[in-house]
């Protein structure tokens, strides 16, 4: 069997994940190929501005990786030369939504560019005219990947393809080509814990349909300790234990509530998400409102005269230090309503103590929605989430239903489905055999680091600057 690795992400642990998969394939006598960018792309998810010394470091890291797993030179596939017809690309886009709609030969390259740019700039509502140069560079790169990808697939004729994530502008077009040609592909990402990775067959890590199915399958195959493991996910989160990503509550002051918290009132805590994480992903739009901010505004307009109900918005800690469109809008909403307290991302108010003190929790897509249910709170779920097919939540379908629910004295909806999610979070993925993680972004592969040495990085920097 021929397996082609579309090598588009070289940050640890992702390049090591591809090495891990490749080693076992080679041991089982399969033919393994890697694509190799030598600075051909105008932008990419690891080097958006196409800085030359970063390109050099990336190339050196890949070279070391290929040597460690003994990939023959003939199996390292460079990008073919492509002449682009840039008249295909519109000269500008009126909005980020218009950019998302742009496609070419059935490939949603506009969505990939929007997703990458939103992630890079950390702003879901980018001024597309201000960032037009970035957009044009991204679209040219995506077109290049689309056209070069055709030639690479024609040349290698792989039975399967392995690639990273599937969301970004320099990777998504290749994934779409696999779909168009009925080539089985696997998208890899971090697993539930640092010592695991996931492989999504003909899907991406963000597919709500695939995740819902996987949650049920894992639980069905689980052993007698699955409930204990499912519970541990939630207790570890509350204890600030690192699992698969950074601990956003690490710097919060345990037990700290907002000043003036009045227990005599009905207190409703809202947990939002950092919208830049989801705006570039198909299928993550809210079920009821266009986005979290619009939902918050409509809620407050409906409750602004309710003196005995107070809302606390715990702004997602991932928005710390940002002054993007989402944060500015939240500040404006917070200033309008006396019965709304906006707890900014950098404030040390304890997310969990606030939850304990609240009467109702409201979540858009945040994991805090399912955590709140685990800790015995009635939860109203407003948006799409990885857990939205499970029981344990009130799931209104209209704004009027939301308002009616929040006026009630809601009871928690206990359900073992909550443990299914916790079990999935910790158990999903494949254990590394050859890669040994040390932190979220460092580790050794077969006892060796793939990272470029500091002296070599200095040389690359000087060579790039000396041109």
Shared domain for 11 and 107, answered yes or no, is yes
Least confident of 253-262, 356-365, 391-400: 253-262
- Note the pLDDT of residue 259: 93
The pairs formed by 63-72 with CB atoms below 8 angstroms and a separation of 24 or more are 64/450, 64/452, 65/10, 65/15, 65/16, 65/18, 65/19, 65/445, 65/450, 66/34, 68/19, 68/445, 68/446, 68/448, 68/450, 69/19, 69/22, 69/23, 69/26, 70/26, 71/22, 71/32, 71/34
| Tokens of residue 351, six digits | 């997310």
pLDDT at 375 over 90: yes
Q: Is residue 26 part of a domain?
A: yes
Cβ atoms within 10 Å of 127's Cβ, excluding its own: 12
State how far the alpha carbon of 179 is from the alpha carbons of 77, 142, 259, in Å: 21, 16, 53
Average pLDDT of the segment spanning 132-151: 98
Shared domain for 149 and 253, answered yes or no, is no
Q: Quick check: helix, strand or coil at residue 298?
A: helix
Q: Is residue 203 part of a domain?
A: no
Cis amide leading into 44 (omega within 30): no
Helix (H) or strand (E) holding 106: none
Angle among Cα 54, 57, 60 to the nearest 5 degrees reads 150
Shared domain for 385 and 439, answered yes or no, is no
Shared domain for 378 and 451, answered yes or no, is no
pLDDT band, residue 283 (cuts 50/70/90): low
Residue whose entry in the numeric block shows the structure tokens 């909005």: 95
Shared domain for 152 and 248, answered yes or no, is no
pLDDT at 397 over 70: yes
Cβ atoms within 10 Å of 262's Cβ, excluding its own: 10
State how far the alpha carbon of 193 is from the alpha carbons of 10, 228, 244, in Å: 20, 16, 4
pLDDT band, residue 298 (cuts 50/70/90): very high
Q: Quick check: helix, strand or coil at residue 361?
A: strand
- Quote the mean pLDDT of the chain: 93
- Whether residue 210 contacts residue 203, with contact meaning beta carbons closer than 8 Å, is answered with yes
**What pLDDT digit, counting tens, does each position of 258-269 carry?**
999 999 999 999
Domain count, the chain: 2
Shared domain for 434 and 414, answered yes or no, is no
Shared domain for 171 and 279, answered yes or no, is no
pLDDT at 293 over 70: yes
| CATH number of the domain within which 293 lies | 3.40.50.2000
pLDDT band, residue 246 (cuts 50/70/90): low
Q: Is residue 198 part of a domain?
A: no
pLDDT at 208 over 70: yes
- Note the pLDDT of residue 281: 73
Global pTM reads 0.90
- Note the pLDDT of residue 317: 86
Shared domain for 183 and 305, answered yes or no, is no
Q: Is residue 210 part of a domain?
A: no
**What pLDDT digit, counting tens, does each position of 327-348 carry?**
999 999 999 999 999 999 889 9
Q: Is residue 351 part of a domain?
A: yes
| CATH number of the domain within which 100 lies | 3.40.50
Q: Is residue 447 part of a domain?
A: yes
pLDDT at 366 over 70: yes
β-sheet with 309-314: strand ranges across: 340-343, 309-314, 266-271, 360-363, 379-381
Shared domain for 415 and 437, answered yes or no, is no
Q: Which residue range is the domain that position 453 belongs to?
A: 2-191+430-465
Q: Is residue 238 part of a domain?
A: yes
**What pLDDT digit, counting tens, does each position of 36-74 carry?**
998 999 999 899 999 999 999 999 999 999 999 999 999
- Whether residue 417 contacts residue 392, with contact meaning beta carbons closer than 8 Å, is answered with yes
- Note the pLDDT of residue 242: 66
Number of Cα atoms under 13 Å in the Cβ half of residue 131? 22
């Amino acid at each position: 069997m021929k397996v082609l690795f579309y090598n588009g992400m070289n940050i640890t642990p992702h390049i090591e994940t591809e090495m891990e998969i490749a080693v076992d394939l080679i041991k089982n006598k399969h033919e393994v190929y890697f694509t190799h960018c030598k600075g051909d792309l105008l932008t990419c998810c690891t080097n958006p501005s196409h800085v030359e010394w970063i390109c050099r470091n990336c190339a050196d890291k890949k070279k070391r990786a290929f040597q460690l797993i003994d990939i023959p030179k003939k199996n390292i596939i460079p990008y073919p030369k492509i002449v682009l017809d840039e008249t295909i690309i519109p000269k500008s886009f009126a909005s980020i939504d218009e950019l998302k709609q742009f496609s070419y030969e059935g490939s949603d390259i506009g969505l990939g560019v929007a997703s990458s740019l939103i992630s890079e700039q950390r702003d879901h509502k980018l001024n597309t005219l201000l960032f037009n140069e970035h957009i044009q560079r991204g679209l040219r790169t995506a077109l290049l990947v689309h056209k070069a990808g055709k030639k690479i697939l024609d040349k290698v004729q792989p039975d399967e393809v392995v690639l990273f994530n599937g969301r970004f502008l320099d990777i998504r077009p290749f994934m779409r080509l696999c779909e168009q040609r009925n080539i089985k592909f696997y998208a890899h990402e971090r697993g539930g814990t640092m010592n695991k990775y996931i492989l999504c067959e003909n899907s991406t890590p963000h597919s709500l349909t695939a995740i819902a199915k996987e949650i049920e399958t894992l639980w069905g195959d689980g052993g007698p300790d699955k409930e204990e493991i499912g519970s541990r996910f939630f207790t570890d989160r509350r204890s600030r234990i690192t699992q698969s990503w950074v601990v956003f509550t690490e710097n919060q002051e345990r037990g700290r509530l907002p000043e003036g918290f009045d227990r005599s009132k009905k207190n409703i805590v809202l947990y939002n998400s950092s919208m830049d994480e989801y705006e570039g992903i198909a299928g993550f739009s809210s079920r009821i409102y266009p986005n979290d901010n619009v939902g918050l505004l409509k809620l407050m307009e409906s409750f602004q005269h309710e003196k005995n109900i107070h809302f606390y918005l715990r702004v997602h800690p991932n928005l710390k230090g940002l002054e993007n469109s989402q944060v500015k809008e939240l500040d404006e909403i917070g200033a309008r309503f006396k019965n709304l307290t906006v707890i900014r991302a950098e404030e040390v108010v304890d997310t969990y103590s606030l939850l304990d003190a609240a009467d109702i929790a409201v979540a858009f897509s945040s994991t805090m929605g399912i955590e709140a249910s685990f800790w015995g709170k009635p939860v109203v779920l407003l948006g799409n989430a990885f857990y939205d097919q499970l029981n344990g939540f009130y799931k209104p379908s209209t704004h009027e239903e939301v308002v009616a629910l929040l006026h009630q004295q809601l009871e928690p909806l206990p359900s073992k489905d909550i443990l299914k999610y916790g079990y999935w979070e910790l158990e999903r993925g494949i254990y590394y055999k050859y890669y040994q993680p040390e932190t979220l972004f460092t580790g050794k592969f077969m006892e060796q680091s793939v990272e470029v040495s500091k002296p070599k990085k200095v040389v690359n920097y000087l060579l790039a600057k000396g041109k």
